[in-house]
Structure 1
Amino acid sequence: MLQKIQGKPHQALMRRALIALFLGATVLSPVAALAQAWPSKPIRLIVNFPPGGAADQIARAIAQPLQEALGQPVIVDNRAGAGGNIGGDALAKSPPDGYTLLLTSGGLVSINPAIYPKMSFDPARDIIPVAAAARVLVFLEVRPSLPVKDVKAFIAYVKANPGKLSYGSPGNGTSPHLAGEMFKDMTQSFAVHAPYRGAAPAMQDLLGGQVDFMFDPGVGLNHVRAGKLRLLAVGSPKRSPLFPDVPTLSEAGLKGFDADTIFGFYAPAGTPASITARLNREINKILGTQAVKDRIATLGGEVAPMTPAEFDAKAHEDTARFGKLIKERHIMGD
């Protein structure tokens, strides 16, 4: 009898403990369930530049194998404008549930905060790095009717015709734009900048003769092969394996010229770490496949698998690298 009486308080305590445990699990369950169930519906992949450009092509090269790996559709959604800020804003204002991602050039986080004084979101606070995708080179290309055959002749021609030549770019603050400003700074020359809403429309106007040259992020290389454009140099620290006989601008006399940038994936701040970790693993696996390596190589780029921390560190490095140029050239956004 005594054992039964003593057992009742014990059983009551056990019941209270189990209830408390259950309630605690209930409080935590939304996040846990999200991580365990993800993904259970299609994923939107925002690209903050128009179709046909380097960002769009990289996104589509990775989207198909990514949806196979995740078992859910990955739908590309082009949101162009304001140097990538429109797409960045769309990501920043999306729920942090792993169902909205962004593929962007490095300029969104490393350059735009310096040239757009009133951004609608803070890249350092509102979005987080998920995975790097590719290192994108820029190629100095001119219209074939321009009377130059090499970099030295081109520099001399630009300097002899101040303000008479124009160059296209995917928009203010993009790496091709900064490459053009870097070129003007290092050669003490002047050409008019014509910003577009992406690399593809800028390339169309270069082919049409509306602009004279461009620092191409790779979308025009087939036109170079077809003889529709003349490739003079590579704006990177090393030569491109696609054009091993074409010098870098540094080799051509502009010492230290480097306009490379890293394109990669971001998610809204607050996205569960388990989801971003899985995305990083899956994307890095995809970057290791020959099909994706070859696709990115057609743009003149190279795959760049990184951890989120390494990707973030590279963005900070690029901020420091381009910051001096932005300040000296008084570069501002649209």
Structure 2
Amino acid sequence: MHRRLLLAAGATAVLGAASGAALAQSYPTKPVRLVVPFAPGGTTDIIARVVAEKINGPLGQTMIVENKAGGGGSVGATEIARAAPDGYSLGMATVSTTAANPAINPKLAYNPITDFTPIINVAATPNVIAVHPSFPARDYKGFLAELKKSPGKYSYSSSGTGGIGHLQMELFKNLSGTFVTHIPYRGAGPALNDTVAGQVPIIFDNLPSALPFIQQGRLIAIVIAAPQRLAQLPNVPTFKEVGLEPVNRMAYYGIYGPKGMPRDVVDKVHAAVKKTIDDPSVKKRIEDTGSLIVANRPEEFAAQIAAEFEVYKKVVAAQKLTLE
């Protein structure tokens, strides 16, 4: 009798494993949605759409981009955290949603370390402070002098409260001894539109979304967060060069899903994204924005998210930053 029970239990386990494997092997059998937690037009949206446009071959299904803006990216991130872990609801993971926002807002409905399954970091991108051409300075020295001369006179736009643009600009203000009023938006796209229109004089943004306006002369780049000066902006110094190395942090744009995703499904998505960004045409489109391809493994991306979260928790504590 005991032997029969053991055999039955073993058969059930084998069947369960087999059905799980079959599910993973059949994935995906329908379109996969990719949630962008910001409005259209920003860097997160740009990179998501570049990948989604070409991934149908490697993935075997269409990837549909959905913009879910709000809360500095937390609305879209929360939706992914609560989704079924079947691989059909994925999200764009950014520094804002996985590090900066959780660091400044402990009341978020998700934990960036435990509520997601990191899959792949697609690219790292520089950040930039840029100004409208009407701003009375065209370089960093003049920019800093103007801010110090008129504290509180100017405002800056960002992709949202608690986002990387918000926290990095606040860190810049603290370290440079300046005061600029924060104007948060529901994504980089709307923030850029108002800055280009001259309604806000300064923006802290990721370079890919701001670069076209900089190249057109509709924005003036002042200083960038990057390992070294960029070929696209050879005359623009890095934060490290101007003595503000703590601000010299790049952003990342990866793909993750809800916690508990089957490893086989994670591996399929990872392989499909990796093959897509290895395509020379896709790689060129991403690199032309000033971004650097990363394409790391799930475990490496998870470690990166955890490390960045710790960095921003320390920034928030050291600078006494709050949402108010």
TM-score, length-scaled by structure 1: 0.90
Q: Give the secondary structure class of the aligned counterpart of 2:175.
A: helix
Paired residue type of 2:73: G
Q: 1:30 to 1:230 in 2, by over 3 A?
A: same
Matches of 1:137 and 1:255 in 2, distance apart?
A: 14
Instruction: Judge which range, 54-63 or 235-244, deviates more.
Output: 235-244
Instruction: For 1:153 and 1:280, locate their aligned partners in 2 and report how far apart those are by CA, in whole Å.
Output: 45
**Structure whose CA Rg is larger:** 1
User: C-alpha deviations, 1:272-313, integer Å up to 9, x for none?
Assistant: 001111221222222222222222223321111111111111
CA-CA distance at 1:26 after TM superposition: 3.0
Q: What is aligned with 1:272?
A: 262
2:83 & 2:246 partners in 1: Cα distance? 40
Q: Identify the residue that residue 182 of structure 1 maps to in structure 2.
A: 171
Letter in 1 for 2:44: A
Aligned to 2:275: 285
The residue aligned with 1:215 is 204
What is the one-letter code of the residue matched to 1:234? I
| Structure 1 gap segments, 5+ residues each | 1-13
Check whether the contact 1:49–1:84 (CA below 8 A) recurs between aligned residues: yes
Say if 1:240 and 1:300, in contact at 8 Å, map to a contact too. Answer: yes
Q: C-alpha distance in 2, partners of 1:95/1:233?
A: 42
2:248 aligned partner, one-letter code: D
Q: Which residue in 2 is equivalent to 1:227?
A: 217
1:146-225 pair list within 5 angstroms: 146-218=135-207, 219-225=209-215
Q: Aligned partners of 2:60, 2:268: CA distance in 1, in Å?
A: 13
CA contact (8 A) 2:125 2:252 kept: yes
> In structure 2, do the counterparts of structure 1 residues 243 and 20 end up closer, same or farther at CA, with 3 Å as the change threshold?
same
Name 1:103's counterpart in structure 2. 92
- The letter of the residue matching 1:99 is Y
Question: Which residue of 305, 311, 314 corresponds with 2:295?
Answer: 305
Q: Quick one: structure 1 residues 255 and 99, their matched pair in 2 at CA, closer, same or farther if it must change by over 3 Å?
A: closer
Shift in alpha-carbon separation, 1:18–1:53, aligned structure 2, 3 A: same
How far off is 1:223 after superposition?
1.4
1:1-334 to 2 correspondences below 5 Å? 22-218=11-207, 219-333=209-323
**Structure 1 residues 19 and 259, CA gap change in structure 2 (3 angstroms):** closer
More off after superposition, 265-274 vs 240-249:
240-249
Task: Note if contact 1:115-1:173 (Cα within 8 Å) is conserved in structure 2.
Answer: yes
Query: In 2 relative to 1, CA 224–21 (structure 1 residues): closer, same or farther, beyond 3 Å?
Result: same
SS of 2:300's partner is helix
Residue 99 of structure 1 and its aligned partner are, at CA, apart by 0.9
Contact (CA 8 Å) 1:106, 1:264: kept in 2 or not?
Answer: no
Cα offset for 1:187? 0.8
| Deviation at residue 333 of structure 1 after TM alignment | 4.0
- Report the alpha carbon displacement of residue 67 of structure 1 after superposing the two structures with TM: 1.7
> Are the aligned partners of 1:175 and 1:260 in contact in 2 as well (CA < 8 Å)?
no
Give per-residue Cα distances to partners, 1:7-33, cap 9 Å, x unaligned. Answer: xxxxxxx99998766544333343222
Cα deviation, residue 135, structure 1: 0.4
Long gaps (5+) in structure 2: none
Relative to structure 1, the CA distance from residue 58 to residue 21 in structure 2 (aligned partners, 3 Å threshold; closer, same or farther) is same
Instruction: Give, in whole Å, the separation in 2 of the partners of 1:257 and 1:123.
Output: 22
Whether the 8 Å contact between 2:224 and 2:248 is mirrored in structure 1 is no
Post-superposition offset of 1:330: 3.0
Letter in 1 for 2:227: P
Please tell me the residue identity of whatever aligns with 1:253: G
Distance 1:28 1:256, change over 3 A: closer
Query: Kindly tell me: are residues 41 and 182 of structure 1, through their superposed partners in 2, closer, same or farther at Cα, counting changes over 3 Å?
Result: same
Give TM-score scaled by structure 2 length: 0.93
Q: Tell me how far apart the structure 2 counterparts of residues 322 and 119 of structure 1 sit (CA, whole Å).
A: 15
- CA drift at 1:128: 1.3
Q: Distance in 2 between matches of 1:124 and 1:321?
A: 14
Return the offset for 1:162. Answer: 0.6
Identity over aligned residues, as a percent?
Answer: 36
| 2:238–2:248 Cα contact (<8 Å) kept | no
Distance in structure 1 (CA, Å) of the matches to 2:164 and 2:231: 20
For 2:312, the aligned partner's letter is F
1:222 Cα offset (Å): 1.3
Distance of 1:15 and 1:116 partners within structure 2: 55
